[in-house]
Structure 1
C-alpha cells in the first residue's frame, strides 16, 4: 500500500483537534488495510516503528536529518537549518524546501508503507565504521523519492515528532470502532502487550476472542498498576475490608522478567535498564527460581543501611560508563511487592494470593534482596497500620501503600484498589511547555517554568508557573534542555516541546482563570526532574480536579 495514503490520513488528523473525528478517521482507514499493513500502521500512526517497550530506536539526530534533506533537495545544510528555524519544525521546513527542489530522481517509484517501515527499522541496526554515511544513504533513498508531504511526515517520524495529536487512547478507540470490539477488551490487550501492531492485527484477524487470549509474556513489559492519593486510614481501610499495607520506598519501580535463561529489567516507563544493573541481574539469578516469572518491586540506593534520595538511584540507572565504579559508590537494594507471572499469568488472581506466591519464591537470605515490609489491615487494627506508617517514615521511606486484598493486577490504570499514604505534601508529575528567562545574573537561565497536565485528548493544559526549588546546577541543566526543545522565543518567554517532566510539590489547588485548566497551585516547588517518566506518564487534568474536589 502506498505511503501517500497514510500521509493523507496524517494530514486529516493534523487538521482537526476533535477526538471523535480523529478516532473516526483512523477507524475508517484501518478497515481498508490487510493484515501485514495494519501491523505496521498500528505503530506508524503513533509516529514510531517499535513498540513502546522496545530498547530499539531509530537513533537519528536532527542534524543528520537536516543533512539528508539538504542532499535530497539539492541545497545546503545551512539552508535547511534556516528553514527549520523559520518554520519551527523539520516537517514544515520540508514543505518549503521541496517546493524548490532542484534534484531529480530518475526511475523512482512511489513509496510504500512496507518500504518506509522496513527502512526506518533498518536505521536502528546500523552501527560501527562509516555508520553515518550508511544511515544517510538509507535516508536519501527515502527522501529522494518522497513528495513534499511524504517528506514532512517521514522526517517527523524519524525525529519522533509526528505532531498529529494522536495518543494511545485514540488508537485504542479506533481499533475498537473499526472491528466492533468493546473498548475495554482492546485496552486490556494493549496494556498486556504494549504493542499496537499486535493488537491491531489480532483485532482484524480474530476479533474480540483473539484479543481476550492475549496475555502476559515474560520478556514483554506490562504497564504498571498505578496508585492514587489515600484518604484517612480510618476511612479507606474499613471500606476495603481487607487491605495489604506495605512500605512505600523512594526508588525506581522495577519490573523484572525471566524468560528461559534471560533476565530483563524495566522501569515504569518500560525502559530496559538491565545493562545498568548487572549486580541486580545476578541477585535475581541467584535468589529467584529459574522459572519464567514477572515480579515487581522497588530498587533503592543505600548508604550505611539507610535509603538515599531518589536522585541517587536515578543517576545510577542512567549511567552508561564506569558501571563497576558506580556499583561500589551507590549500593542498591531491591524490595519486591508483587508477582504478575510465575509459570503462568497471575494478574487475575487476588492480590493476597499473589503475595503468597511471591513470598514462596523469593530467597531473602541476603541483605540486597527483600520483600516489602507488610501488614494485613482491617477495621480492627488501624493503629498498627499507623505505626507501620510512622516506622516507614522514620526509616527514611515515603510512607505506605494501601492495597485491596481482593484486587487483581490492573495494568496501566489508576484507581481505588491501590492507594498511597504519604507524609510529604502531595505532588503532581507535570510537563514543561514553556518558561521565562531570569534577569540580572540569571539572565542566561530559564528561571520559571510553565507546567501543564494532560487532558482527555492527551493535549497539555497549563496549570502553574514554578521557579522555586532549583539550584544553579539544575537551572543550567534545564535551560540546556529547554534550548534543545525550543519551538519559539519571544522576549524573555520561551515555548518548548512537551518533553520535560517535573515533580511539583504544592500546598493547595486553587481556581485561577490565568491558566488553561482554570486552576493553579499555591506555593509550587520543583521537587525532582522525573527523567524516569515520559510526558504520557504525567498526571492528568482529571486527577487535578479529583484532588481539588477531595481537598475542598
Structure 2
C-alpha cells in the first residue's frame, strides 16, 4: 500500500466528528494491509513513530522541496526513511538529516507531505490516537476492543498489538501480560475545575498531592532495576536516587508508579524544567545527584513478589503499597467524602508548592493508558491577558489558517526589553470558528510576513490559561509560559490594559 492511502485516511478521520465513524475509517484502511505493512502503518497512524527520536522539529520543516505530482511512496519505505533519520548522529548530523528529510519529502505528494509533517511534530488530529486506533484494530481483526486495550496496556506498542490482533486474533492478544522490565502504559487522569466538582464524580475519594515532577515507573526483579518515563523510555542510568530507593525495599519483585522531583533545601519543588533537565541529562549521574538531587514518591503498586495487582481495587493496591514502601517514599494521601477536609488537603498541597491534587476512586482498577473516571486531577487555573504579536500558518486541518499564536506581555518600564515581551506560543484551545475568526482579524492587522509567520499590530488581547512559568533563555524576559492554552479573546479590553511584564515577574517570584 502507498502512503497516500494512510494520508487520506488520516485526513478523513480528522474531519469526521463521530467516534464510531472514525473507527470505521481506520478499520477499513487496516483491512487492506498485508501483514508486513501493518506494523509500519499503525506506527505512523498512532504517532508512535515519533518515539524514534528523529530530531526534526518545526524549524526543519519550514523549507521543504516541492511536492511530488504522483504517489509512489510506500508505507514500509517511509518508516525505513524515518528510521534512517533517527540513526543520524555526530558530526555533520544536521546536514545529513536535512538531506534525508528533503529526499523523503521530495517523493511525497502534497497530502503526504502534510501527513508526514503532522507525524513528525505530533500534530495528527485524528482524535485520541491510540484509543481510536486501538478500537479500529479490534474492529478490523474481529476481536473485542477490551482485549486490544488490555494488550496495549501491557505491551505499550500499538504496532506490536495491531500485528498480533490482525494475524493471530484473540489468542495472540491473551499472550500479552505484565512483564517485569517491560513498562506498562501509565494510567492517566481526567480534569475537573475544582475539588467539589471532582467529589461529585467520586465520593468517598482518595486525594493525593499532584507533584510537578516527571512520572516514573519502577520495575525490580531481584537485583535488576529499571526505571521508565511516562513515554516508556528507559532512564535507569540517569536516576540513581530512584534506583537506590527501589533497592532499599524488602521485596523480591515489584512494579511501582510514582513521581521523581527535584526539591530545594526547604523541601519545596524546584521549577519543573530543573527536574526535566536533570532526568534528561546523560552526563555524570553521580555529579548531577549532588548538584540537583532527586526525590521519588510512589503512589501505586502494580505487582508485588510474583503477584499482579493491576486488576485489584485501588484501595487494596494502596494497602499493599503502605506495607512495603515507607511513608517518606509515598505521596501524601487521604481518604474523605467531605468537601471541607478535601479543600483543606488541596490548599495544603498548594502551600507546599505543589500543583494541586489527584482525586481517585478507591474501587477502581489500574486502567492504564486511559483518562477514565478513576482519577481526576484538580489544579488552580492561572490566567493572563496577553497580546498577540504574530501567528504562524497551520498545517493539516489548519492549513490556510493562522494558528500558532505569539503571546506577549506589556512592557511597563524595563529599558532593555521591547514594548511587547514575548512569553511563548500556543495553538491549544482554538475551535474551528475561532481559527477562522482570528485569521481574518490577523490579516486585517498584518504588518509583515515571511513564508511561515504573519506579524500583526499588537491590538488583540487574548485570555490565556497556563500551568506555571519557567525560566527560559529563548525568550527576552527569561520566562516562558507552561502549557498555555486559549480561553477567549478579550474584545472588551484594549492592548494598553494587557498584563505587564512586572506582573508576570511577580507571579514567577511567588513560585508560580
Instruction: Establish whether TM, by shorter chain, passes 0.5.
Output: yes
Distance (whole Å) between structure 2 residues aligned to residue 398 and residue 163 of structure 1? 29
> Does the aligned pair in 1 maintain the 2:7–2:111 contact within 8 Å?
no
1:118 aligns with 2:80: yes
2:429 aligned residue (433, 447, 453): 453
Q: How does 1:290-439 map to 2 (within 5 A)?
A: 290-291=252-253, 293-311=254-272, 312-321=274-283, 323-342=285-304, 343-362=306-325, 370-377=329-336, 388=345, 392-398=349-355, 400-420=357-377, 424-425=380-381, 433-435=404-406
2:192 is equivalent to residue 229 of structure 1: yes
Residue-pair matches, total = 438
In structure 2, the residue matched to 1:488 is 453
Taking only aligned residues, the RMSD between alpha carbons, in angstroms, comes to 5.0
Contact 1:7/1:149 (8 A) holds in 2: no
Partner SS for 2:454: strand
1:227 to 1:152, Cα distance in 2 relative to 1, 3 A: closer
Equivalent of 2:203 in 240, 247, 250: 240
Q: How does 1:38-437 map to 2 (within 5 A)?
A: 38-46=38-46, 48-49=48-49, 54=51, 56-60=52-56, 84=63, 90=64, 93-95=65-67, 98=68, 112-128=74-90, 146=107, 148=109, 152=113, 156=117, 159-160=120-121, 165=126, 167-211=129-173, 213-217=175-179, 218-229=181-192, 236=199, 240-241=203-204, 243-258=205-220, 262-287=224-249, 289-291=251-253, 293-311=254-272, 312-321=274-283, 323-342=285-304, 343-362=306-325, 370-377=329-336, 388=345, 392-398=349-355, 400-420=357-377, 424-425=380-381, 433-435=404-406
Q: 1:390 to 1:435 in 2, by over 3 A?
A: closer
> SS where residue 411 of structure 1 aligns?
coil
- Aligned residue number for residue 18 of structure 1: 16
Unaligned 5+ segments in structure 2 are 385-393, 395-402, 412-416, 439-449, 470-484, 492-497
SS at match of 2:219: strand
**More off after superposition, 325-334 vs 32-41:** 325-334
Please give the secondary structure, in 1, of the residue aligned with 2:162.
helix
* 1:44 Cα deviation from its structure 2 partner: 2.1
Give secondary structure in 1 for the equivalent of 2:66.
Answer: helix
- Inter-CA distance 442–284: structure 2 relative to 1 (3 Å threshold): same
Q: Which 5+ residue runs of structure 1 have no aligned equivalent?
A: 67-80, 85-89, 102-109, 466-484, 495-499, 516-521, 529-552
Q: So what's the TM-score if we normalise by structure 2?
A: 0.66
Deviation sequence 1:493-534 (CA, Å, 0-9, x none):
89xxxxx995279xxx9996989xxxxxx9999889xxxxxx
Instruction: Report the Cα offset of residue 488 of structure 1.
Output: 2.8
Rounded Cα–Cα distance in structure 2 between residues aligned with 1:324 and 1:297? 22
